[in-house]
Amino acid sequence: MPKTAFITGVTGQDGAYLAEFLLKKGYIVHGLKRRSSSLNTDRIDHLYLDPHAKNPNFVLHYGDLTDSTNLIRIIQEIQPDEIYNLAAMSHVKVSFDTPEYTANADGIGTLRILEAIRLLGLSQKTRFYQASTSELYGLVQEVPQTERTPFYPRSPYAAAKLYGYWITVNYREAYNIFASNGILFNHESPIRGETFVTRKITRAVSKIALGMQDTLFLGNLSAKRDWGHAKDFVKAMYLILQHDTPDDFVIATGKTTEVREFVRMAFREAGAEIEFKGQGVEEIGIIASSTGEFAEKLRVGSTVVRIDPRYFRPTEVDLLIGNPQKAKDLLGWEPKYDLAMIVKDMMESDLKLMTKDKYLKDGGFNVHNYFE
């Protein structure tokens, strides 16, 4: 019998990669999708089958993490072997604007699923994965961060995820549910949400290189993140649920890089070297040299990066760097992508997207098989 997985957040970056990954492993995959007035399934359209097809292996259900009755009904119907709880209001800056909703969806939403597993008598059948985050470390108490590093959340998002983390541990200990946390550090890809900093940068650099935009406005350029590729990270989620015992794992690359350096790397992919000058909100990024296909638009001396304080956060997480040794030792997990490969992957994709007629007309993007 093929295994059945239920993925919340299936329309997001990780949900899309994970769905494709599990389908390739022969799973039947059910996904939770929110109703929206415009289509929100771009990332998974290539996986979707006509609902009238016989025995489809990929099925979408309308629902929301803030609605327990709907979660209970869907989980009862599916009787999943594995649940991956990836749904969340996942933007740290936006969580300062919507703190109560973020707590409801990201914190209590986790509890709702765990309670559904318990109430439906699935405690011994269903394995549960919680999308925990390196944001839990916030004002870091130790460098690098491990599974034993104390948490110090610095945003409503991180505080909500802190609840999600501990309620997962509690249901494991109280009810013997196979419930595990993946403490994932930042992971990116060509289908990363457009307002996270890496994708904002690769999209803007592509547009600047093509003469469609003049300036990229950013917030804190000095923040450091441990950036991996989402493809590597969804494999870790799967491995966490295949382990003999439920446990919590840091998933990271072990290297950290400044936002400023990510900007340099992205422009380099388009053929330009950026020099940063000035301090604080007056800091600017100027094109120091350029060669190749886009040199005409990437004019030497032009200012292409500026600071906009609106992107600063009331409390910032300055430095994240994880130690994934436990995942390497116990799960045999090893990332394939380094940051240079990630930037290349994202820049190649965004340069292509920006030149596509379809993209220019309606903002759609190309659909591909992620693991091919």
State how far the Cα of 67 lies from the Cα of 54, in Å rounded to an integer: 29
Residue position matching structure tokens 């990780």? 14
Burial of 34 (0-12, 13-18, 19+ CB in 10 A): middle
Closest separation in Å from C-beta 313 to ligand NAP: 16
From 54-62, 121-129, 285-293, 312-320, give the range in contact with ligand GDD by CB under 6 A. 312-320
Which tokens belong to 133?
């985050």
User: CB–CB of 130/168 below 8 Å?
Assistant: yes
What does 200 interact with, of ligand GDD, ligand NAP, none (CB < 5 to 8 A by kind)? ligand GDD
What does 44 interact with, of ligand GDD, ligand NAP, none (CB < 5 to 8 A by kind)? none
Using CB under 6 A, pick the residue from 134, 181, 202, 323 that binds ligand GDD.
134
CA 56 to chain centre: 27
User: For ligand NAP, which is the closer residue by CB, 65 or 304?
Assistant: 65
Residues in contact with 318: Cβ distance below 8 Å, sequence separation at least 6, in sequence order:
140, 222, 223, 224
Comparing every residue's Cβ against ligand NAP, the nearest one is 12
Using CB under 6 A, pick the residue from 116, 160, 197, 237 that binds ligand GDD.
197
Q: State yes or no: residue 311 binds ligand GDD (CB under 6 A).
A: yes
User: 280: phi > 0 → left, psi -120 to 50 → alpha, else beta; which?
Assistant: left
Residues that bind ligand NAP (CB under 6 A): 8-9, 11-15, 32, 34, 36, 40, 64-66, 86-90, 105, 131, 133, 184, 186-187, 193
State how far the Cα of 151 lies from the Cα of 129, in Å rounded to an integer: 19
Q: State yes or no: residue 225 binds ligand GDD (CB under 6 A).
A: yes
Query: Which residues contact ligand GDD (rule: CB under 6 A)?
Result: 90, 92-93, 133-135, 185-186, 195-197, 200, 218-220, 223, 225, 259, 311, 313, 316-317, 320
